[in-house]
């Protein structure tokens, strides 16, 4: 398996522009997570989906951020309009539920998208 | 709300030295605990996890961690580090039924040859 795939790997854009980050989870995984990593705040959860349905979006910083999962193999995180403070590495992760609710299943992370907003 | 504290932000060791990275969590109930590693320029990879049973957990690459419930701790250890262990290490926790992970701030380990 190719693992979690993210694109682009690097994105440089100007303030005010729309940015779309993409993620393809591992085939068969039914949970998908978006995390953001910054020097100031570390790794923090933005949103996660189960079976393509958003479950918890409490980490989404503001209305400029939106995430979708139109099908089991694709998700997008969109920032519109982007701001310099959005500069960070955005990670997508996926996991497989084991039929229980223990939550102890490993999350597999993608390589991340390094976003720079000028 | 759950939180994770990693008090060592940057650790520098020589090869063959022993390693212990601290991790404390704040949560009153049962938790699942994880250590992830991020090698330079790479994505996060799972080192080990604990969810029940033997509190001493062995992971990949010679790492182990011990869950001490009374101390709310899950410290990572390795008896003898190698230069290739240079990376950033993240402790993470989730409560059963909550899939998302709460991460610590990370510890950057630098191993000098």
What is the four-CA torsion angle of A70, A71, A72, A77, rounded to 10 degrees? -20
HSE-CB of B89 using CA atoms within 13 angstroms: 30
pLDDT (0 to 100) of residue B3: 85
pLDDT (0 to 100) of residue B44: 92
Confidence of residue A1 (pLDDT cuts 50, 70, 90): low
Q: Which residue shows structure tokens 């994505």?
A: B43
pLDDT (0 to 100) of residue B89: 97
* pLDDT tens string B7-33: 889 999 999 999 999 999 988 778 889
Q: How far apart are CA A47 and CA A91, in angstroms?
A: 11
Structure tokens at A15: 């303030």
pLDDT: which is higher, A75 or B98: A75
Q: How far apart are CA A109 and CA A116, in angstroms?
A: 20
pLDDT (0 to 100) of residue A99: 47
Contacts of A35 in chain B (CB under 8 A): 103
Q: Number of Cβ pairs closer than 8 Å across A and B?
A: 57
pLDDT (0 to 100) of residue B110: 97
Other CB atoms within 10 Å distance of the CB of residue A58 = 9
Question: DSSP string covering A21-51, please?
Answer: EEEEPPTT--EEEEEEEETTTEEEEEEEEET
Bond preceding residue A43 cis, omega within 30 of 0: no
CB contact under 8 A, B43 and A56: no
CB contact under 8 A, B32 and A104: yes
The residues near A82 (Cβ < 8 Å, ≥ 6 apart) are A13, A14, A15, A16, A17, A18, A19, A64, A115, A117
Average pLDDT of every residue of chain B: 92
Whether the per-residue pLDDT at A100 is higher than 60: the answer is no
Note whether B90 contacts A: Cβ–Cβ < 8 A: yes
Compute the average pLDDT of residues A13-32. 96
Compute the average pLDDT of residues A88-105. 77
Contacts of A107 in chain B (CB under 8 A): 46, 101
* pLDDT tens string B58-80: 999 999 999 999 999 999 999 99
pLDDT (0 to 100) of residue B1: 66
**Backbone dihedral region for residue B2 (phi beyond 0: left; psi -120 to 50: alpha; all else: beta):** beta
pLDDT (0 to 100) of residue B97: 66
Residues 37-76 of B with CB under 8 A from A: 42-46, 49, 51
B51, closest residue in chain A (CA to CA) = A104
DSSP assignment letter at B55? S
Whether the per-residue pLDDT at A101 is higher than 60: the answer is no
Other CB atoms within 10 Å distance of the CB of residue B15 = 13
Q: How far apart are CA A47 and CA A78, in angstroms?
A: 12
- Rounded to the nearest angstrom, the gap between the alpha carbon of residue A97 and the centroid of all alpha carbons in its chain is 18
* pLDDT tens string A33-71: 999 999 888 899 999 999 999 999 989 988 999 999 999
């Amino acid at each position: 398996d190719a693992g979690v795939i993210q694109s682009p790997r690097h994105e440089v854009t100007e303030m005010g522009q729309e940015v779309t980050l993409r993620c393809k989870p591992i085939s068969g995984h039914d949970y998908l997570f978006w995390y953001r990593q910054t020097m100031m705040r570390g790794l923090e959860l933005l949103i996660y989906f189960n079976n393509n349905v958003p479950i918890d979006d409490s980490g989404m910083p503001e209305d400029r951020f939106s995430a979708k999962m139109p099908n089991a193999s694709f998700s997008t995180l969109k920032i519109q309009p982007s701001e310099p403070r959005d500069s960070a590495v955005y990670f997508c992760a996926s996991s497989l539920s084991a039929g229980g609710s223990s939550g102890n299943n490993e999350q597999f992370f993608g390589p991340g998208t390094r976003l720079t907003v000028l | 709300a759950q939180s994770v504290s990693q008090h060592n932000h940057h650790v520098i060791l020589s090869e063959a030295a022993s390693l212990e990275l601290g991790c404390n969590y704040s949560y009153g109930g049962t938790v699942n605990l994880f250590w992830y590693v991020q090698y330079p320029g790479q994505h996060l990879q799972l080192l080990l996890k604990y969810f029940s049973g033997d509190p001493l957990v062995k992971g990949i690459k010679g790492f182990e961690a011990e869950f001490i419930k009374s101390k709310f701790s899950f410290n990572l250890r390795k008896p003898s580090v190698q230069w290739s262990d240079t990376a950033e290490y993240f402790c993470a926790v989730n409560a059963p039924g909550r899939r998302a992970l709460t991460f610590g701030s990370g510890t950057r380990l630098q191993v000098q040859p």
